[in-house]
Chains A and B, each alone.
Chain A
Amino acid sequence: MIDLGVPYSQILLAAEQTLYMVFISLAIGTFIAIVLSVILVLTNPSGILKNTVVYNLVNTGVNIIRSVPFIILMVFILPLTKMIVGTRVGTTAALVPLVIFIAPYLTRLFENSILEVNKGIIEAAQAMGASHFEIVWYFILPEARGSLILSVTTGTIGLIGATAMAGAIGAGGVGDLALTYGYERLNFPLMLFTVIVLIVFVQVIQSVGNYFSAKVRGH
């Protein structure tokens, strides 16, 4: 085996930390984003629950958070992080900014996915006497599923990028490993290795996403 200058157990831990951060924040972020994007689509000016106040509120909120770079967002919300998880440092502390970062990002992606759903289907649902919840649950979300899966895939890859910066608050992870050991100690083989690991992560996630999206759209 090649000597990477750090114990394999440390590399493994870093990988674990990255996966932990990505998937926990992805799960929470996806849930929030589904809710927000549905609200955006329903309340937008041509939506079935047109509501300018709610729409503008959510829309502006999403824009504001989206305009703050992740590294700044992370430091900026440290007090909030402390309030929610009880600490400002570590892997779990990184979850808060990661969720706050990814939820609005996914909201925009989901909003586009949902807007792609044929308006006629919503009209058919209304004509059937469906309630607003039923329209979302039985018509809009199933029809948008393929596109939503691709959006989650894109979001996941964005999250991996963000976790690399989470090292700044001691969250660990593959990105942090590359920066502290690879960059600062001029350990090129380790740097190369982490880059390869990240590429593999992204490739796998994209392939899985494409596969499932194609599967639900495949008819």
Chain B
Amino acid sequence: MIKFIDISKTFMVKKQEINALRHVSLDIHDGDIFGVIGFSGAGKSTLLRMVNALETPTEGIVEINGSDINKLSFNELRKVRKDIGMIFQQFNLLESKTVYDNIAIPLVLKRMSKADIEKRVSRLLEFVELSDKKNAYPAQLSGGQKQRVGIARALSTDPSILLCDEATSALDPETTDSILRLLEKINRELNITILIVTHEINVIQRICNQVAVMEQGNVVESGSVLSVFSKPEQGITKRFISTVMPDKIPDSVMEKLKQDIRHYKIIKMRFLGDNVDENVLYFINRHFAAETNMLFASVNELQKAVVGIFILQIIGDDTEIDKITTYISEHNIQWQEVKL
């Protein structure tokens, strides 16, 4: 378990105070894939690097499995660091060493015997599907392959936590997807807690179960991916999420609406998880004296649950429209009116 307790970090740059983090508190539980998203400069990398004390907070406490990491002696800290793997946007592999030697380095630092290293590295190479590149040098690998080596290296000491610092930001979408699948497998099969910082919302959508949204050193919103994605509160969160789960009426439909002179109301409904299966729309159409017109719909899968966004034009008189919205509310479906 990783606990950030009221963390602040202030840098002095050219005699100016920069607040990289302001009173950040987060809990990351064992087994989570926790994503921190924000634009560059939001402070997310600084936060991540506090987990293995590459950065120290100006105020606040970072607890790893119950102990304050900044109160450890250097040798104790080194031990904890060996239990925390880390991968980087730029991979940070040793260009002068082969894939095998790169993965072996953390084990050499642990003074493991050559035979044991050999065994462990072969197994890791298999796990990341790079057995045939054992004797290649990093310069001969593609970006995705380099990140796989980075992952194997980070896993070599059997860590309980894996930190990913923009690990897919330098990769193309297809490679990103294969790396994310690998991270998911690591979380599932090796039961490693993963903390990811990224500016790519699809990374969060694809594999995280928890998310924190950061802006200018603050965590502005956090919670399970399902709850945050289905009901984003902050502007920045809405902006991020709308890029992967659009919820706007398309422009062409908008043009037509502007010429529609009938009396109507437009509502946006969000279905979450189970209630998607209920036949709400069917019921509305059957039991109310109003015409409905679907303006936009999208259905997304998140954490094996379904999030649906429907934008509905209800044409009819006010009493009938009120009845419908009451009906929707009674079914615990979130809705809001959309103004043109």
Using CB atoms and an 8 Å cutoff, list the residues of chain A in contact with chain B: 118, 120-121, 123-124, 126-131, 134, 138-139, 142-143, 145-146, 216-217, 219
Contact = CB atoms under 8 A, between A and B. Distances in A.
A121 B52 contact: no
Contacts of A139: 94, 105
Contacts of B163: 127
A138 to B, nearest CB: 6
Interface in B102-122: 105-106, 108-109
B88 interface: yes
A136 to B, nearest CB: 13
Contacts of B298: none
Nearest to B78: A129
A123 B79 CA distance: 16
A29 B276 CA distance: 76
A126 B105 contact: no
B12 interface: no
The majority secondary structure among interface residues of chain A is: helix
B54 A145 contact: no
- Please give me the 4 A-B residue pairs with the lowest Cβ-Cβ distance, nearest first: A219-B137, A129-B81, A120-B92, A129-B78
Given A123-B54, A126-B54, A127-B54, A142 B86 contact: no
A128 B81 contact: yes
Contacts of B77: 129
A128 B109 contact: yes
A124 B79 CA distance: 15
Contacts of A126: 52, 54, 81
Contacts of B139: 219
B96 A138 contact: no
A142 B97 contact: yes
Contacts of A130: 78, 109
B84 interface: yes
Centre residue among A127, A134, A138, A143 by max chain B CB count within 10 A: A127
Interface in B128-148: 137-140
Given A126-B54, A128-B105, A129-B81, A118 B96 contact: no
A75 to B, nearest CB: 42
A124 B81 contact: no
B95 interface: yes
A128 B82 contact: yes
Contact of B105 (A120, A138, A217): A138
B154 to A, nearest CB: 8
Interface string B46-76: 0000001010000000000000000000000
A120 B109 contact: no
Contacts of B202: none
Contacts of A120: 88, 90, 92
A216 B96 contact: yes
A145 B92 contact: no
